[in-house]
Structure 1
């Protein structure tokens, strides 16, 4: 066996190492296993595969690139199994990383053409293969900080399949262009100014692809900020509605206090006449007046109180029988918005489920309880029509083709505070159990 060709083929296949690492950068919050376990699994599969395929490439006299391309397709499936992100996100990240790492390959071909002008891509030298591996590692390192610090937020929060599939198509254009542009004979690069033009073209394309990813990040960041602003605006509207309810209740109370003297005189007059029935009727009417428009006070948090009142009003107007028992600790401004988002998604999902059941049979039970002074337990039960869609990553939305966004947001909020969220169903009942540390 030609050891030089084997080493060259091995170095080419080892490019899968920095490429694989790049795929996991942005998935740091979407990994099924720990980083150490994922790295061990990745190395245990990739290294024997690289040694075996490089040997087969030399023994069967097959161009290693013919093995590399199917290998990229093959390795997508174990990658998909080690992350919890949806298929569109996985494809977008994987194809994007493959597109980026075709550029070190192109520059390595140019380097090989400079060293061996009479050779070609099929006779890729060891020096060029090593240059490609080093360049791929440098590219992976350069993209590591932006990916870990910025892009992971988009993966966690943006659940719009159309955007991710558009990214797949865009990255595929660059990927297949670079595959087609591989110089099979280096003599073509030494014709006129082709060598300089080739380097300039690849450099410009790499800059354009990087700029596209930056613009994608900026654009999706605006979308996410708009969604957060909309959520905050909705919360402020709920609080304003709650404030107006309180004002109305205060006016009603002031009026009742003003009328109280007249009521006492009336009751005294009726008592003198011995008209017990009229006294009872008047007291019942007065009691109803006291309760009318009385705002519900669920907890000490104004934001959560407004949220509960808002959704309780929606539930009652939809004919949903509600049984809520709310016990919440004092919240800090830092965690209040996260808890508001968690309850907002939880209650909205439950109400949506109830609306699939005929009116008169709808019910929604919600209980929150503080245990061990620092743990908040939330149990939600609602009925629905019994139709569910499940994937290997859990429940999927019945409104669109993706994962259930509300449930994913609930789980993310619970994990942020060292807890967990579990969704399940039995017949026509849907359960969500959440525990988190406050």
Structure 2
């Protein structure tokens, strides 16, 4: 090959490598931002480019470069991308399947049109190979865009059973396509080539149908989970509303009783019965300790739900503390405050109730750069994340697996936030950053 041909081949290889890494990155989502994300992305593209380039100049079994490329994509996915391993595996497999199907389809179709053997199209550079490479890469580009556009739901919410089923067909397709391609290379019979082409078309149709069916199944599953989430949130709002009403009713009763007690104190002082006055005063203090408002901010819903939960914890013998150095901005809707803090405290209270002693919950709200920082910590006697990394419910009703955690996550995402769970010693912590409203 001359220099122009070499540059063309290298350009095609680089473009293909870029498409492979870009596809799985967009399918799964990046784990990091900034320079680290770019370095990992570029490194993976370079490794794939080197693999493809070396394979073009060294005689190896046709499937070996594909296997190496697949391994590179998986390693990159694990290091640089978010989500479940099986989803990363699926995205890597599906792109390789699309790549192999498009390359083979282009070779067979254009070979038949130009009356050139598949082997010559692969090994001999000329106008036919040039047209084949350009055609296949353009098709690959547009097909990859369509697949990414069709993936319009959150893959991390889809059960692993669905992703396992989705992965089997593409894996089988890869093995079948390797066999078909090798058969075409070592056999120049036009009739056999035609039947092999029909086999490729059949595989393409099977994979398209399977992909559409599973995408639809995934969408239906997401709708089901959304409905469960709405039911759960409505239940939670009703529960918290009832608790808040009971708290305010108790406060009203306490105010009424306090008025009578103050009158009694005044009367006892006038009668110089100071011991009786002290007893009355101690009774008032005890009532305030049992039913007290802990937090006062400009946000009434925040005050109501947090004070109610702190009061509930106090009744259950759980020590509570708080540090409110920054107030929630007004764009956060009351219903979201209700669900967010209701779930955070319900989870913390439930965890503390399982402890025999050292029961404690801490709330911190502060500002960190452009974010509102929210932290709810509770004591534990053993690791939660080690035994239950997905924070699934431990209650008997398994239908709503971790739905409270999903509610929290959904609200955090709504306000462009970040959520993180971690443990340090005997403390379990949920950290949330919500993007602050710009003035």
Same fold (TM over 0.5): yes
* Distance change >3 Å, CA 38–CA 342, structure 1 → 2: farther
- When residues 277 and 314 of structure 1 are mapped into structure 2, their CA distance, relative to the original with a 3 A threshold, is closer
The offset of 1:432, in angstroms, is 5.3
- For residue 208 of structure 1, report the CA deviation from its aligned partner: 0.2
The Cα of 1:158 is off from its aligned counterpart by 1.9
- The counterpart of 1:364, out of the listed 358, 361, 364, is 361
Q: How does 1:413-432 map to 2 (within 5 A)?
A: 425-431=423-429
Q: For this pair of structures, how many residues does the alignment match?
A: 418
Q: Give the CA deviation at 1:136.
A: 1.1
Cα displacement (A) at 1:6: 12
How far 1:139 moved relative to its partner? Answer: 1.1
Q: Which has the higher contact order (CA 8 A, sep 6+)?
A: 1
> How far apart are the structure 1 equivalents of 2:162 and 2:423?
31
- Alignment of structure 1 residues 223-234 onto 2, 5 Å: 223-234=224-235
Instruction: Write the deviation string for residues 16-44 of structure 1: whole angstroms up to 9, x where unpaired.
Output: 44232211112335345556444422332
Distance 1:102 1:212, change over 3 A: farther
Give distance in 2, aligned partners of 1:87 and 1:231.
Answer: 29
Structure 2 match to 1:167:
166
Structure 2 CA distance for partners of 1:355 and 1:161, relative to 1, 3 Å: farther
Task: Give the conservation status (yes or no) of the 8 Å contact 1:371–1:377.
Answer: yes
Q: Distance in 2 between matches of 1:46 and 1:253?
A: 72
Match of 2:85 among 79, 84, 87: 87
| Matched residue, 2:56 | 54
Q: Residue 194 and residue 425 in structure 1: after superposition, are their counterparts in 2 closer, same or farther (change >3 A)?
A: closer
Distance of aligned partners of 1:2 and 1:386 in 2 relative to their CA distance in 1, 3 Å threshold: farther
Change (3 A) 1:344 1:241: closer
**Any idea what SS the aligned residue of 1:361 has?**
coil
Which aligned pairs between 1:128-167 and structure 2 lie closer than 5 A? 128-147=132-151, 150-151=152-153, 154-155=154-155, 158=157, 160-167=159-166
* TM-score between the two structures when normalised by the length of structure 2: 0.72
How far 1:196 moved relative to its partner?
7.7
Residue 383 (structure 1) aligned to one of 379, 383, 388: 379
2:47 corresponding residue in structure 1: 45
**SS state at 1:124 partner:** helix
Deviation string 1:234-281 (CA, Å, 9 cap, x unpaired) is 441244224422552376268649x84x984x6677567654434443
8 Å CA contact retained: 2:108, 2:118? no
1:18 corresponding residue in structure 2: 19
1:320 alignment counterpart: 318
Question: How far apart in 1 are the matches of 2:224 and 2:425?
Answer: 37
Distance 1:96 1:349, change over 3 A: farther
> Aligned partners of 2:237, 2:159: CA distance in 1, in Å?
26
TM-score norm. by structure 1 comes to 0.72
Alpha carbons of structure 1 residues 263 and 12: separation in structure 2 relative to 1, 3 Å: closer
Name the structure 2 match of 1:77. 75
Structure 2 residue ranges without an equivalent (≥5): 124-128, 394-401
Evaluate the alpha carbon distance shift between residue 285 and residue 430 of structure 1 in structure 2; reply closer, same or farther with a 3 A threshold: closer
Q: Structure 2 CA distance, aligned partners of 1:247 and 1:214?
A: 49
Instruction: Tell me how far apart the structure 2 counterparts of residues 14 and 355 of structure 1 sit (CA, whole Å).
Output: 57
Two-structure CA RMSD over aligned residues (Å): 4.8
Secondary structure class of the residue paired with 1:366:
strand
Q: Does residue 285 of structure 2 align to residue 281 of structure 1?
A: no
**Which 5+ residue runs of structure 1 have no aligned equivalent?**
none
